[in-house]
Chain A
């Protein structure tokens, strides 16, 4: 037997100098040979820790084995048994904290690049796969019950997929004019091409799932209305959509965006193609992005691509505490993003027309550990300084959108307005289920999908009674 290669096959990516000038995807994906080589590194160990490391329990060793044997259709079939958005999760999952973190190979070398292999199989399917072209997915016998899915983000799409597979009739309701939720308005093209998301949505349509755009549940139809319309159960996957602001002076000046607004303008509304598209966006020359998560990084790298000469990422803790993915931090550095760690904005100053022109910051130092288990940042008295900028993007997180809560009497909430639900997504109202960020608060795509999957089982159980 050949000695196992300890180093993973690196994925090729666009050079930094070139990619910051366009919205084209940064990592280029494995070629067939590369995928097979990487798949051959898998030990096919008995313990299979990677499967338990995956929130949707993909049979990882099996699909990797199939890739090694060049059975790509089989590989994607295995993935699809558990995951309806493989081309998406192959790109945006934090594998380094999940499946790859527990990979046995990681003990003696680099863990298997499971995410890259998942992406390879999903991309192969989008190009050559039978299923996408034929649009057939094995479905259980048709059931005469209808389920309403509220929200078309990762949680909603997963619930729709799982329940459609079981034979239920599904309608997905979305407030926006496009489906995909955060996958289309939030995550930028250079990290997740929108064409890929639309193929994944299209597959659900081919399975018989109905989609209703421009339909905000809580306004045009309430949860109660959905039952009146003949739905037997409702799944709420409305996400954590409400952007947080810091509440500091000057935060409503012109040129200050929430990351959600900035990214929605650019990704969903295609403001980077203004005036071909009608939605404008400010293209600041000097931009400050506030926050240290993936969303803040997405916004910062988007600002670079819109032509900013200087983009600062202002984060109150140090690099070590950044919640963003390591890969993306590295890529952002390559692209020229300037990090201002241990720094926090305290106010914004404007020109006479109300446009932001400076951010005043204060230096921070790390103190005792806080409830998140990370060292809490504390302001250093008298360390204020100013940075000249003409655009600010605030990416410090989001809270659940309150529209459904406000219009659904009897629906119990917790914390910052999240819907209270048990581990199977059962809410305080019989027949109403919820999963994803609206229950957990902000989390990852894959965690929302994992929650939605469990929830689909509970909905099935409820409807069989």
Chain B
């Protein structure tokens, strides 16, 4: 049983939950995720670790209420318990001193880039963060992200806050202005694909964090398989980070729709 210590609403259907999980907090690193089961009859869903506090023994998860499990999770309150939490899963993001780094976060992906930004800063990179949201109401963690970025550029789809447009528009400008040594992109699959397409032309290595469907999260089922460079990989074991220039995003997007008909039942 894992206790919900704090809970915040960050935006429309966007929840932030802080869980008591000392062992996981002790080991967690940027890029890793947990498998959560929110009730005894619940499914196992992967969620990225958006922050961790080794001293307090807590991890933070940010998610959008999209399906049944995230809706149920969102209904829980501070002091409630969830039955199961497995992690930290997946390989930590490889971070070193790259030089100039552009980090793109989209939607709740902005939460997932936070531990990465922290580590990039610790390793003395110049970090330009591009955060994309749907609209002003959806903007969250601006201060938090800003504190660990050298430049923070915010965009909204409708222009109600920051610049109007897609993150790729801004990224294109950033790439045009200065030499970028490494790019990270975390967000909706379609966004990661667009970023990868753009940076492939410019030949800038781009790491994406894939959000495949999962069951076990530890390599025994293969629900999360993804084609990267003509080869099948398991996102949970070999990822979740992959070189975006080699990921078959079209296949991934189709696979994410596998249970669309069941979910609408």
| B interface: dominant SS | mixed
Known A216-B218, A219-B87, A275-B265; judge A353-B257 contact (CB<8 A): yes
Alpha-carbon separation in the docked complex, A428 to B221 (Å): 29
Give the contact-size bracket for chain B: 35 or more
CB distance B44 to A269 under 8 Å? yes
Q: A394 → chain B, closest Cβ, in Å?
A: 9
- Tell yes or no: A98 within 8 A of B by CB: no
- Tell yes or no: A327 within 8 A of B by CB: no
CB distance B221 to A261 under 8 Å? yes
Q: A237 → chain B, closest Cβ, in Å?
A: 14
User: Nearest CB to that of A270 among chain B residues?
Assistant: B41
User: Nearest CB to that of A176 among chain B residues?
Assistant: B216
Q: B259 → chain A, closest Cβ, in Å?
A: 5
Contacts of B232 in A (CB 8 A): 245, 247, 251-252
Contacts of A354 in B (CB 8 A): 251, 254-255, 257
- Tell yes or no: B179 within 8 A of A by CB: no
The interface-forming segment of A44-52, A139-147, A276-284, A318-326 is: A276-284
Alpha-carbon separation in the docked complex, A243 to B237 (Å): 12
Contacts of A282 in B (CB 8 A): 258
CB distance A278 to B86 under 8 Å? no
Contacts of A269 in B (CB 8 A): 43-44, 215
Contacts of B193 in A (CB 8 A): none
Q: B223 → chain A, closest Cβ, in Å?
A: 5
- Tell yes or no: B177 within 8 A of A by CB: no
CB distance B262 to A220 under 8 Å? no
- Tell yes or no: B173 within 8 A of A by CB: no
CB distance B89 to A254 under 8 Å? no
Alpha-carbon separation in the docked complex, A243 to B251 (Å): 20
CB distance A278 to B218 under 8 Å? no
- Tell yes or no: A401 within 8 A of B by CB: yes
Q: B94 → chain A, closest Cβ, in Å?
A: 15
Contacts of B88 in A (CB 8 A): 219-220
Interface residues as binary, A171-190 with B (CB distance below 8 Å gives 1, 0 otherwise): 00001110000000100000
CB distance A278 to B41 under 8 Å? yes
Contacts of B39 in A (CB 8 A): 278
CB distance B222 to A220 under 8 Å? no
- Tell yes or no: B24 within 8 A of A by CB: yes
User: Nearest CB to that of B39 among chain A residues?
Assistant: A278
Contacts of B257 in A (CB 8 A): 254, 353-354
User: Nearest CB to that of A274 among chain B residues?
Assistant: B262
Contacts of B41 in A (CB 8 A): 270, 276-278
CB distance B83 to A265 under 8 Å? no
Interface residues as binary, A256-268 with B (CB distance below 8 Å gives 1, 0 otherwise): 0110110011000
Most chain A beta carbons < 10 A, residue from B43, B220, B237, B259: B220
CB distance A401 to B23 under 8 Å? no
CB distance A264 to B262 under 8 Å? no
Q: B257 → chain A, closest Cβ, in Å?
A: 7
CB distance A278 to B43 under 8 Å? yes
Give 5 closest A-B pairs by Cβ, nearest first: A354-B254, A241-B220, A261-B221, A280-B262, A279-B43
Given contacts A177-B44, A278-B69, 17 further A-B contacts (CB under 8 A): A176-B216, A177-B84, A177-B86, A214-B84, A216-B218, A257-B223, A258-B221, A260-B222, A265-B215, A274-B262, A278-B41, A280-B262, A282-B258, A354-B251, A398-B220, A401-B219, A403-B219
30 residue pairs bridging A and B, Cβ less than 8 Å apart:
A175-B218, A177-B37, A177-B84, A215-B23, A216-B86, A216-B218, A221-B27, A242-B219, A242-B220, A243-B220, A245-B225, A252-B227, A252-B251, A252-B255, A254-B255, A254-B258, A255-B258, A257-B222, A261-B216, A261-B221, A261-B222, A264-B216, A269-B215, A275-B68, A278-B72, A279-B215, A282-B258, A353-B254, A402-B237, A403-B237
